[in-house]
Chain A
Amino acid sequence: MTADALSHGAGRGTATDVDSLPEDSPFGADTVATAREIIARYPQSRSALLPLLHLVQSVQGYVSQHGIAFCANQLELSTAEVSAVATFYTMYKRKPCGEHLVSVCTNTLCAALGGDAIYDKLRTHLGSEDKPLGHEETSGTPGEQGSITLEHAECLAACDFAPVLQVNYEYYDNQTTESAVDLVDALRRGEKPAPTRGAPLTDFRGVEYQLAAGFDTAAEAVGGPSASAATLRGAQLANERGWTAPAMPDNVDLPPAPEKK
């Protein structure tokens, strides 16, 4: 972090065009254009701050002081206002992340079913017995192929698939310590094993870009497996046994509006 960049961002941003970016800014005209598009979605510009933080993270792999200054500049906020938000949310990383972010759910239910063991195993496997990798620490050089940032996560809303982990927030369900080790080894070799549910795996920065700017809505990205066994169990069981909700009657009128008092 240079003093120059800090001083640039210290005040309340006013200009929002690319010319106002500092010379050493890692953000180019394309990022400015994307930021403009995002801002235009909202009735008030500040609502675009969360997406813009995802956007700067997609460029740098973390939210740097440059990234904070960029958001402040685009939204005419102070860097203090942006920092306050960036430090509040778990998904904004303050240190450069690896090519992949591996998040292991260690909330109670996943932990009881093996999540704690998976996390502990990955800590030593990606680090060493003497020096296990810590929360949000990276194995390898951030940004380089095969580098992995490890974190423990809170409930990932996939409890019926416990224990779960995510790579770049795509779901890998019903994990074991062995399957998790195999997965990270494949990632380190530069492979991209398919998620249990979700689109083909990309990388951390790619998903951050999608979270900011919107998603590829092409059929192949949107398709893919989504509803694994657990999701469908109830509906399938009902289907097998011929159970249904009571038949929906046709031509039911809407009730009359209540009379105005």
Chain B
Amino acid sequence: MTEVDKLTPVLTKRWLSPNSWTLRTYEQLEGYTALPKALRGSPEQLVQLVKDSGLRGRGGAGFPAGVKWSFMPPNEDKPHYLVINADEGEPGTCKDIPLMMADPHSLIEGCVIASYAMRAHHCFIYVRGEVPHCIRRLNAAVAEAYQAGYLGKNILGSGFDLELVVHAGAGAYICGEETALLDSLEGRRGQPRLKPPFPAAAGLYAQPTTVNNVETIASVPYIVNAGADWFRTMGSEKSPGPKIYSLSGHVERPGQYEAPLGTTLRELLDLAGGMKDGIPLKFWTPGGSSTPLFTAEHLDVPLDFEGAAEAGSMLGTTALQIFNETVSVPWAVMKWTEFYKHESCGKCTPCREGTYWLTQILQRMVRGEGTETDIDTLLDVCDNVLGRSFCALGDGAVSPITSGIKYFKDEFLALCESNRAKGASQTEPALAGAGS
């Protein structure tokens, strides 16, 4: 197998072109060439193709997209829906918004192909509300696509119909969880549902539904055009393809770097000009704040689904938030915990109450009023949140805390020093909030 370049722009390549968001530019650059090819095939062939490609969900969980598609019923006695999760909000994650701003037609072409493959005639793109310019571009692109016959009735004379609606959210991180997103799209509070039933059995309006991430669906036209074998020339056997790595924080040149899955932070940092002002790396997230922290020890971990997991974290959304030695770990963990507390939807008690008390304890520790037993209390509360709620928000909330204590316990202990100096009577309260 020939050597693959360090950066492999596929999804990001068109972004460099002038007016890249317009139909004209998209069509000039091979846009909408995969759609007629897909419509000449059968839905079963397309599902098989995506299975063969090994494309895994780019929204964080990494579930094989073709397998997810194959869960949709093969008949059409009920309406089927495709819903695009564009509610990008995981701290650190900033890939889907630029993709939709720069190249909205690649997502739309993917939506039509995926809808055809899953026999859906209605597709929704659920975008977080706080990105009006992105929604503006999407709406303009959808209007262009309708006018050109890529959406609507009898698309390109194939007999296939598809309606596509861009739907703006209203500010709730939890709506990035697929079943909460569906509740929100139904006009309800965005609260997760118990699974099963999975969306393929009972999703939007209790009908068969697939929810896919933006980057996943935008990858589909390329796979249709160039085939599964081409897609597999990048990345690893179990994690094939290119991936948009989002570098942010204390690096010289933060930004979006599309590279084969399995690229390491050391390689990415090299491309991004290294650590800002040469101040050494202290900790980083491989895929958003819900993925356990890594340290400088993990610079050579291959950033694919298996590599990140074997090293004790998760690939998540490949949102690499990079922090240098000037940043306090307990402070960073406190800030993230405040976020999860704010965004917990309140449905499940362990997550709702747990994030509340974890925040209280961490704030107290950062104020210098903590005790060593607070560290045990934190871990104990985390243990009672992890795996005990409907969705993964609570699991994500404990990731920074448990990994922060695992790698930087000294910093948490140091916070207790000033308190210890005040005398033994101050070290007693172990109950969260008791010191405040």
Contact = CB atoms under 8 A, between A and B. Distances in A.
Nearest to B90: A155
Nearest to B53: A255
Contacts of A88: 172, 189-190, 345
Contacts of A159: 91-94, 246, 248-249, 254, 319, 321
B255 A154 contact: no
B52 A255 contact: yes
A160 B339 contact: no
Nearest to A112: B327
Contact of B185 (A47, A89, A162, A231): A47
Given A90-B171, A245-B234, A155 B339 contact: yes
Contacts of A211: 129, 132, 135, 168
Contacts of A207: 132
B237 to A, nearest CB: 16
Interface string A141-174: 0000000000001111111111000101111000
B388 interface: no
B44 interface: yes
Interface stretch (A3-11, A183-191, A213-221): A213-221
A198 B132 contact: yes
B36 interface: no
A40 to B, nearest CB: 11
Interface in B105-148: 122, 128-133, 135-137, 139-140, 143
B255 A157 contact: no
Given A155-B89, A155-B91, A157-B131, A222 B21 contact: yes
A49 to B, nearest CB: 3
A224 B172 CA distance: 28
Contact of B254 (A47, A160, A246): A160
Given A169-B131, A243-B5, A155 B13 contact: no
Contacts of A241: 5, 7
A33 B385 CA distance: 47
A199 B425 CA distance: 59
Interface string B1-28: 0101111111011011001110000000
B316 to A, nearest CB: 13
A252 to B, nearest CB: 4
Contacts of B5: 238, 241, 243-245
Contact of A248 (B228, B230, B272): B230
A17 to B, nearest CB: 21
Interface residues of B, number: 106
A221 B21 CA distance: 13
Contacts of A236: 16
Contact of A227 (B20, B139, B258, B323): B20
Interface stretch (A22-30, A102-110, A124-132): A102-110
A91 B136 contact: no
B93 A108 contact: no
Contacts of A229: 255
B255 A227 contact: no
Contacts, number: 290
A245 B242 contact: yes
Given A46-B186, A232-B15, A157 B89 contact: yes
B399 interface: no
B392 interface: no
Contacts of A223: 19
B222 interface: yes
Contacts of B41: 254
Contacts of A91: 129-130, 169-171
Nearest to A214: B139
B165 interface: yes
A50 B89 contact: no
A48 interface: yes
A226 B133 contact: yes
Contacts of B254: 159-162, 230, 233
Nearest to A49: B187
A84 interface: yes
Interface in B73-109: 79, 88-94, 96-98, 101-102
B49 A254 contact: yes
Contact of A231 (B91, B102, B167): B102
Nearest to B320: A159
B336 interface: yes
A50 B168 contact: yes
B226 A248 contact: yes
B24 to A, nearest CB: 11
Contacts of B102: 226-227, 231
A92 B170 CA distance: 7
A118 to B, nearest CB: 15
Contact of B12 (A107, A222, A234, A248): A234
Interface of A: 41-44, 46-51, 53-54, 75, 84-85, 88-92, 103, 106-109, 111-113, 153-162, 166, 168-171, 195, 197-199, 207, 210-212, 214-217, 221-224, 226-227, 229-239, 241, 243-246, 248-249, 252, 254-258
Given A155-B91, A227-B98, A234-B257, 7 more contacts: A107-B339, A154-B173, A157-B94, A161-B94, A207-B132, A227-B101, A244-B8
The 8 closest A-B pairs by CB, nearest first: A233-B255, A90-B171, A49-B187, A234-B257, A252-B227, A89-B170, A159-B248, A243-B5
7 contacts: A154-B339, A159-B91, A207-B132, A215-B140, A235-B256, A238-B8, A252-B227
